[in-house]
A and B are shown apart, each in its own frame.
Chain A
Amino acid sequence: MEAWSQFVQLLFSGLTVGSIYALVALGFVITYSVTGILNLAQGDFAMLGALLCMTFVNSGMPFALAIGLSIAAVMAIGALFERLAIQPARRSSVAVLIIITIGVSFVFRGLALLVWGTDPYALRPFSGHEALHLFGAVIQWQSIWAVIISVISFLALHLFLNRTSIGKAVTACVINPFAARLMGINIRKMSLGAMAVSAGLGALAGIVIAPISGASYDMGMMIGLKAFIAAVVGGLTNAPAAIAGAFLVGLLESFAEGYLSSGYKEAISFGLLLLVLFFMPNGLFAKMTGKRV
């Protein structure tokens, strides 16, 4: 029974972390699909979202308003980032663009450090502190929120891409930017929108995880990198596969931490990344689900 409850506990912590990675990874996939840029500052949107939301809540704002406002603020930051750093350099090589996003990530980190300092902050859970008891395991309601929110976000995105005309325009940009431009789709607006939506998803991820693991100026890098692994494992342009990849990475980490050693969990997920890169560069699920969004 002891082993069983540990298993359930690890399963749920894996699903929680996986859903956070999934939200950030969705952002990666959108940005990469529309702009062809691998945005290494993606994780920092989560950090900014969490810290902003925490500040708004502490200033006495209603919780829902604080969440909405911080997501909107981070979306604006994402749009600004696209206009100030990505647009001027759009003719550069891929490597240069990656390095630019690293530079922006450093700026975000540094600014957060300046505003909030090095101390980690806690955000209150969305719905009370009591926990759910299941098979002898203790599960935070926040974990369930995390999973639900990531699933809803994915579904919303899916509907947006497949049921609205703007969404179809985005899909067109993904499939063939040149043809899309010929059809009168404004690629620059698409790029701006993609960055803003990615930033918003990142912020949401940060807000959801903040009550569980706290928020601090340097939380962005690791979340971003893990989401990255998830996206690559899923094949970078495939949203459902990226989500599957995110849950895979989350579960792998959780079980590695529980059954092996907590110190090596990062090496294990990056080991997975290297294996996938070397042997299945189109992602684990390339054959199952097709290549594009």
Chain B
Amino acid sequence: MESGQRMTDGRKRWLWLVGAAVWLGLPWLVFGNNYVLSTLILIGLYALVSTGMTLLMGYAGQISLGQAAFYGIGAYTSAYLTAHAGWSAWLALAAGAALAALVALVVGIPVFRLREHYLALATLGFGVIMFTFFKEWKGITGGLNGFFGIPPIRIAGIPLQSDLPFYYLVSLFVLAGVWFARNIVRSRVGRALRAIHGSEVAASSLGVNITKYKLQMFMLSAVYASAAGSLYAHYVTFINPDLFGIVPSIYFLIMVVIGGTGSVWGGLVGAAVYVCLGEWLKAVVPLLLPNAGGEFEIVFFGLLLVVMLIYMPNGLTGVAAKGWRRLWKASWRQQKQTAAVDSHQARSIGGERG
């Protein structure tokens, strides 16, 4: 499903160069505007979570309604180990990722015996249970009052306290995340995942160990979320349980759906659109509807989610890929092939119809 696969190397190189230039130049274009920079950082952090989820949902075809729990595991592990145990932020980040992977393994083994509704419910239940622990385990998480005074992340002993270096750090994580996801998608694992997505029965009859692959993707998506959570904790230096409840999990889901699960870039696109739209709505809605509460944008995101799923089930990257192919005048045959894949994907974002 990737447009990149069909491009020549020359075009691809150009695309990478332009991308790198935009990435390096973006903060300088908005220099001095910390608001834009912090928005970009937020996009990066969410992109990391939703890239992991894209792997899980798009490629393994599994739905997760509790992803914010892993985000929280990363954030609280980092917060506790750096603030109370004096660990370096990097070690704490790694520890959080390892813990998230372990939790995903323990939860995933029974959960992935379930399918469809039950899987969605089980991940939702897991999310609520973790949220309760974040809220109630006051000795470690600070409870509802939150966790204050998380030390900043350090590179070569220098704390990253301003937004600019943090922007580059987060972007590096996102790039590494997308690059890793691309490699996975194109590897043997990726082919196995696509087979699972197409038909679990067919895949298993060909000898694909379905549970193992699903579990691996679940653990991987947990690591992505946890790393993003750790970075978030060190960036804002204050966290509270509300950031890691069910509603944030649904926001991550919305990002993945907006971006589209057919491409590894979907997470980044979805996060960018989600954050930008959210900020824009926060600015515009109070002007149009002075009485609207602070959370009014949820109506909009709810509608967007429904409309996207009905009319654009491949998300924005799906639409972009189609447009891109048209732009480069792909041969008639290729279009026909991808159209077949598109309609297939439209039917099966989350596994087969029961």
Name A's B-contacting residues (CB within 8 A).
36, 38, 85, 88-89, 91-96, 98-100, 102-111, 113-114, 117-118, 221, 225, 228-229, 232, 236, 261, 263-264, 266-267, 270-271, 273-274, 277-278, 281
Closest to B298 in A: A110
**What are 27 A-to-B residue pairs whose CB atoms are below 8 Å?**
A92-B346, A92-B347, A93-B351, A94-B117, A94-B351, A95-B63, A95-B116, A95-B349, A96-B309, A98-B63, A99-B305, A103-B254, A103-B304, A106-B250, A107-B299, A107-B303, A109-B299, A110-B298, A113-B296, A225-B124, A263-B136, A267-B132, A267-B133, A270-B125, A274-B122, A274-B129, A278-B111
- The residue that A263 contacts in the complex, of B124, B132, B246, B313, with Cβ under 8 A, is B132
- Chain B contacts of A111 at CB under 8 A? 299
- CA–CA, A158 to B113, complex, Å? 33
Question: Which residues of chain B from 289 to 328 have any CB-CB distance to chain A below 8 Å in the complex?
Answer: 289, 291-293, 295-306, 309-310, 313
Known: A114-B299, A229-B125, A264-B136. 18 other contacts (CB 8 A): A38-B117, A38-B120, A92-B346, A94-B116, A110-B299, A113-B295, A113-B296, A113-B298, A114-B291, A114-B296, A117-B293, A221-B246, A267-B128, A274-B122, A274-B129, A277-B121, A277-B122, A278-B111
Contact flag A106-B298 (CB < 8 Å), given A93-B349, A94-B116, A118-B293: yes
- CA–CA, A162 to B250, complex, Å? 39
Please report the total number of B residues contacting A with Cβ < 8 Å.
Answer: 57
Closest to A38 in B: B117
Task: Assess whether A113 is in contact with B293, with CB atoms less than 8 Å apart.
Answer: yes
* Interface presence of B272 (CB below 8 A): no
- CA–CA, A232 to B296, complex, Å? 32
Task: Assess whether A103 is in contact with B132, with CB atoms less than 8 Å apart.
Answer: no
Chain A binding surface, main DSSP class:
helix
Task: Assess whether A94 is in contact with B129, with CB atoms less than 8 Å apart.
Answer: no
Distance from A43 Cβ to chain B, minimum over Cβ atoms (Å): 12
Count the A-B residue pairs with Cβ separation under 8 angstroms: how many?
A: 161
Contact flag A99-B298 (CB < 8 Å), given A89-B309, A267-B128: no
Closest to B257 in A: A99
* Interface presence of B253 (CB below 8 A): yes
* Interface presence of B234 (CB below 8 A): no
Task: Assess whether A106 is in contact with B299, with CB atoms less than 8 Å apart.
Answer: yes
Closest to A217 in B: B293
Task: Assess whether A109 is in contact with B298, with CB atoms less than 8 Å apart.
Answer: yes
Task: Assess whether B352 is in contact with A281, with CB atoms less than 8 Å apart.
Answer: no
- CA–CA, A107 to B305, complex, Å? 10
Distance from A279 Cβ to chain B, minimum over Cβ atoms (Å): 9
Contact flag A93-B347 (CB < 8 Å), given A38-B120, A278-B113: yes
Task: Assess whether B303 is in contact with A103, with CB atoms less than 8 Å apart.
Answer: yes
- Chain A contacts of B136 at CB under 8 A? 261, 263-264, 267
Task: Assess whether B120 is in contact with A98, with CB atoms less than 8 Å apart.
Answer: yes
- Chain A contacts of B120 at CB under 8 A? 38, 95, 98
- CA–CA, A226 to B122, complex, Å? 13
Closest to B132 in A: A267
- CA–CA, A113 to B293, complex, Å? 6
Closest to A102 in B: B250
- Chain A contacts of B354 at CB under 8 A? 36, 94
Question: Which residues of chain B from 106 to 136 have any CB-CB distance to chain A below 8 Å in the complex?
Answer: 110-111, 113-114, 116-118, 120-122, 124-126, 128-129, 131-133, 135-136
Distance from B87 Cβ to chain A, minimum over Cβ atoms (Å): 28
- The residue that A274 contacts in the complex, of B126, B253, B313, with Cβ under 8 A, is B126
- The residue that A270 contacts in the complex, of B114, B118, B129, with Cβ under 8 A, is B129
